[in-house]
Chains A and B, each alone.
Chain A
Amino acid sequence: MTALGIPARLEEDTNPRPLPWRRMAWVTWRHHRIALGGVAVFLGALAVWLWRVGLQLHHAYAAAINCHPAASAACSELVLNFDTIGGILKGGFVLQPVPALIGAFVGPQVLARELETGTFRYAWTQAFGRWRWTLAKLVMLGVAVTAIAGAFGVLVSWYYHPYLAPGRLYSATSPLHHWLFDLRGVAFAAWTLTAFAMGALAGMLIRQVVPAIAATLAGYTGLAVVVGVVLRANYQPASHFWRVQWIEGSGLLALSALLIAVTVWLVHRRAA
């Protein structure tokens, strides 16, 4: 017993009430800063790439759209030039796995890692209480991941704008097309949140990080195929873009809230 230790202990003992929620933000940050930093680095690198190619794309689009008469060979050359920019980014295919990767690598870490390494025995017996501990972490991380993905989604929307702008250049693409719809508007952030919530639940059920990551990727792919091919009605007019965006966004938000609620309930129930 030292002189320093005694007053500190007494102060703690006279405050048996649970820690404030605000402190959990610090704990969440300390536990998951590498994962969050990784997400920021990953999306940052993609953002630099999108920005550099996007400037060329917008430049080529402006040149092609201002060319008259449209039927001339020189204008066709400009349209062809516009078409060759972007390469692998064209059609949005390459960005499709981004929400799944973020969700799969952040979500299962929250519970599966604690369960796999045994640190849950320490974490869940803190004054804060195990279900509030879980809820605080999942909500804070979910909001953080969604916010980052939302900011990235704005850049993605800007990048693909030339393909969807009214004009003759890229008539085939509807804004409701499979590969572009869920990268733009609110859908990108909503899909990222859903992948995160699926990852958290998979981690709680499987209790091992790597199998939970694999299960999240598989489950996400299945859901994306079902929503893209079956639920989201194709051949809608382009003017329905925002209406379908809000329907899909709120549906996914509800699903995420449900998945997080089930995860917290499972934590609450486990060895109660």
Chain B
Amino acid sequence: MTAVTVPVRPAEGASPRPLPWRRMAWVSWRHHRIALGGVVAFLGALAVWLWIAGLQLRHAYAAAAACHPASSGACQNLIAAFQGTSVVLKGGFVLQPVPALIGAFVGAPMLAREIETGTFRYAWTQGFGQRRWALAKLVLVGVAVAAVAGAFSVLVSWYYQPYFASGNGTVFSSPSPLSPGLFDLRGVAFAAWTLAAFAIGALAGMLIRRVVPAIVATLAACAGLAVLAGNVLRQHYLTPLVAKGSNLPGSAWITSEWWTKGGKFAFGGRPRVDLLQQLCPSSFVSGPGGGIAVKGNFSPTTCLVQHGYTQWSDYQPASNFWPFQWIEGGWLLALSVLLIAVTVWLVRRLVA
């Protein structure tokens, strides 16, 4: 017993109330500063790249959009130069894994590391309480990660803007802002996917209790969820519009195509060659080497229309971009909250 320690102990004993939440921010920062610093460095490096490439892209776009007449050889060269700028970033595929990587490398170690190394025995028996400890860390780090990702996605939206601008008409056959690859990099979706990946990582770490397998599981789960959302869920967010014939706006996201005959469904997707052969046999002859040969300028669409078929398309107009963003952001936020709640509930069960 020294003179220094004696007065301190009674003071602590007289205050058995849990530590304030504000202190947890400091603890979260101390525990996860390397991970958060890594995220900032990673996104910062990507941001520099996007900024440099984006300036070039805008420059090339401005040159191509200002050129008249658009059909001249000089203008075609400028359009080709615009389309050849930063091919790697085009379509957005190279940025698709970013939310999953952040979620896996920040979210999965959140609890798995404490469990794997055994430090949870110390951390979870502090005055703050195991459940609030886990909740505070997950919420604070989750909000920080989502905020950094949100700031980054503003830059991403800026980068891809020229592809969606309608200047000069022929500069770029603009992709639909809803099409997979770009939709979830822009608006609020990017931050929401990052938060969801973080929550998936935290739960995976809690369930698997080992960091590296939890990272792998998170990457796999995020890839699966992204494929499910892009190919199955997203097209059903709002009732699609139906178009008759093939006159659709270029920015429409076509989700399905089918043909009818006499008011009844005939077939979906593209017409089969054997059907065309059956309908318009005079246009087909047997070609060299056993192949199928076609006479002159035969058009499958014309052939089908002549025989009473009608083409239909389900599509989502480009004006649905922001409603879709809020729907996707909303369900991902709800999913993240649910996953974090399950994780915190499991923490309580682990020690209890």
- Name A's B-contacting residues (CB within 8 A): 34, 38, 63, 66-69, 72-75, 77-78, 80-81, 84, 88, 93-94, 97, 101, 105, 109, 209-211, 213-214, 217-218
Q: Least Cβ distance of B290 to chain A in Å?
A: 7
With contact pairs A66-B289, A94-B93, A209-B211 given, residues A77 and B300 touching in the complex (Cβ less than 8 Å): yes
- B294-A67 in contact (CB<8A): yes
- A72-B297 in contact (CB<8A): yes
Contact with A along B93-124 (1 / 0, CB 8 A): 11001000100010001000100000000000
- A73-B287 in contact (CB<8A): no
Q: State the 9 A-B residue pairs at the shortest beta-carbon distance, nearest first.
A: A66-B291, A72-B294, A68-B287, A74-B294, A68-B293, A73-B299, A73-B298, A93-B93, A77-B300
With contact pairs A66-B290, A66-B291, A93-B93 given, residues A210 and B299 touching in the complex (Cβ less than 8 Å): no
Stretch in B55-63, B269-277, B318-326, B339-347 touching the partner: B269-277
- Contact partner of B216 (CB less than 8 A), chosen from A84, A105, A217, is A105
- B298-A72 in contact (CB<8A): yes
- Contact partner of A97 (CB less than 8 A), chosen from B42, B97, B105, B292, is B97
In the complex, which residues of chain A have a beta carbon less than 8 angstroms from the beta carbon of B290? 66
Determine the distance from Cα of A80 to Cα of B257 in the docked complex, in whole angstroms: 15
- A210-B288 in contact (CB<8A): no
- A68-B270 in contact (CB<8A): no
- A210-B300 in contact (CB<8A): no
- A68-B291 in contact (CB<8A): yes
- Name B's A-contacting residues (CB within 8 A): 34, 38, 42, 93-94, 97, 101, 105, 109, 113, 211-213, 215-216, 219, 270-271, 273, 276, 283-284, 287-300
Determine the distance from Cα of A101 to Cα of B100 in the docked complex, in whole angstroms: 13
Q: Could you list 13 further interchain pairs (A-B, Cβ under 8 angstroms) beyond the known A109-B212, A217-B101?
A: A67-B293, A67-B294, A68-B287, A68-B288, A73-B297, A73-B300, A74-B294, A77-B270, A88-B93, A94-B93, A210-B109, A211-B38, A213-B215
Determine the distance from Cα of A101 to Cα of B101 in the docked complex, in whole angstroms: 11
Shortest Cβ distance from B293 into A: residue: A68
- A211-B34 in contact (CB<8A): yes
In the complex, which residues of chain B have a beta carbon less than 8 angstroms from the beta carbon of A80? 270
- B212-A72 in contact (CB<8A): no
In the complex, which residues of chain B have a beta carbon less than 8 angstroms from the beta carbon of A84? 270
Determine the distance from Cα of A75 to Cα of B97 in the docked complex, in whole angstroms: 37
- Contact partner of A77 (CB less than 8 A), chosen from B38, B42, B212, B271, is B271
- A74-B276 in contact (CB<8A): yes
In the complex, which residues of chain B have a beta carbon less than 8 angstroms from the beta carbon of A69? 287, 293-294
Q: Least Cβ distance of A223 to chain B in Å?
A: 15
In the complex, which residues of chain A have a beta carbon less than 8 angstroms from the beta carbon of B213? 34
- Contact partner of B105 (CB less than 8 A), chosen from A38, A88, A94, A210, is A210
Determine the distance from Cα of A105 to Cα of B108 in the docked complex, in whole angstroms: 14
Determine the distance from Cα of A218 to Cα of B109 in the docked complex, in whole angstroms: 19
- Contact partner of B294 (CB less than 8 A), chosen from A38, A63, A75, is A75
Shortest Cβ distance from B288 into A: residue: A68
Q: Least Cβ distance of A178 to chain B in Å?
A: 8
- Contact partner of B212 (CB less than 8 A), chosen from A68, A75, A209, is A209
Q: Least Cβ distance of A50 to chain B in Å?
A: 15
Shortest Cβ distance from A215 into B: residue: B38
- B216-A38 in contact (CB<8A): yes
- B276-A214 in contact (CB<8A): no
With contact pairs A69-B294, A94-B93 given, residues A74 and B287 touching in the complex (Cβ less than 8 Å): no
Interface pairs (21), CB distance under 8 Å: A34-B213, A66-B290, A66-B291, A66-B292, A68-B292, A68-B294, A72-B295, A73-B297, A73-B298, A80-B270, A81-B270, A84-B270, A93-B94, A94-B93, A105-B216, A209-B212, A210-B212, A210-B215, A214-B38, A214-B105, A218-B42
